[in-house]
Amino acid sequence: MTVRIGDIAPNFKVDTTQGEIDFHDWIGDKWVFFFSHPADFTPVCTTEMGRTAQLAKEFASRDTQPLGLSTDGVEEHKGWIKDVDATQNTSLEFPIVADVDRKVAQAYGMIHPGESKTAAVRSVFIIDPDKKIRLTLTYPMNVGRNFDEILRVIDALQFSDKYGVATPADWKKGDRVIIPPGVSNEDAIKKFPQGFEEVRPYLRFTEIK
């Protein structure tokens, strides 16, 4: 199955390192960084799990809960978490889904049979409090994810929602934002009294402090 931006995230009940969860109940009113990895006790995955744990405060400040997944079981996950903590100098506190029967991975299209018939690739889903998929990313098994980008895109989504704007290439918090083409200049003046720069009729920038 393909999960696309704008879809409601498929719900599931599954065992995790922190007990059984109903995904939609677990989301509650938070954002979610849901990510899969191929297998426990593997090097790239160990660094990614460690990085996610190290960034706990960054995710929390964005009202975002991480949720990992691999097709290994709870006992393997728990043993591996000890290794992640020891080798990455952290304390992993977020749950990891034990998707032994691969039901969740199949529902989210995390298994790419050309790569592996049984293990998940490195999928990322950013899900909002309405349970809507807001971003998907897929990395191959041998390339670790860029966590600066994951935090940046959560910032961009939350900022865009709050102010009704779009964000330009490489946008970071504090940079100018784009007034969407659907907003007329007349409405833009009311919405952004600080003013805006019209580079082209379709390319207008404003600053939001």
| Measured CA angle at 20 (ends 3, 115), to 5 deg | 40
Q: Which of 7, 15, 30, 44 binds ligand BEZ (CB under 6 A)?
A: 44
What tokens does 36 get?
Answer: 């899969």
Q: Which of 9, 27, 45, 111 binds ligand BEZ (CB under 6 A)?
A: 45
Can you tell me the distance from the alpha carbon of 13 to that of 29, in angstroms, rounded to the nearest whole number?
18
CB nearer to ligand BEZ: pick between 45 and 154:
45
* E strand intervals along 17-128: 19-22, 31-36, 64-70, 96-98, 122-127
CB nearer to ligand BEZ: pick between 31 and 35:
35
Contact between 42 and ligand BEZ by CB under 6 A: the answer reads yes
CB nearer to ligand BEZ: pick between 87 and 142:
142
- Of 159, 163, 202, 206, residue with least CA distance to 184: 202
Task: Please give the torsion angle defined by the CA atoms of residues 13, 161, 167 and 164, in that order, rounded to the nearest 10 degrees.
Answer: 150
Contact between 141 and ligand BEZ by CB under 6 A: the answer reads yes
Contact between 179 and ligand BEZ by CB under 6 A: the answer reads no
Closest distance of CB 116 from ligand BEZ, Å: 8
Determine contact, residues 108/3, Cβ cutoff 8 Å: yes
Q: Which residues are catalytic?
A: 45
CB nearer to ligand BEZ: pick between 120 and 126:
120
Question: Rule CB under 6 A: which residues touch ligand BEZ?
Answer: 38-39, 42-45, 141-142
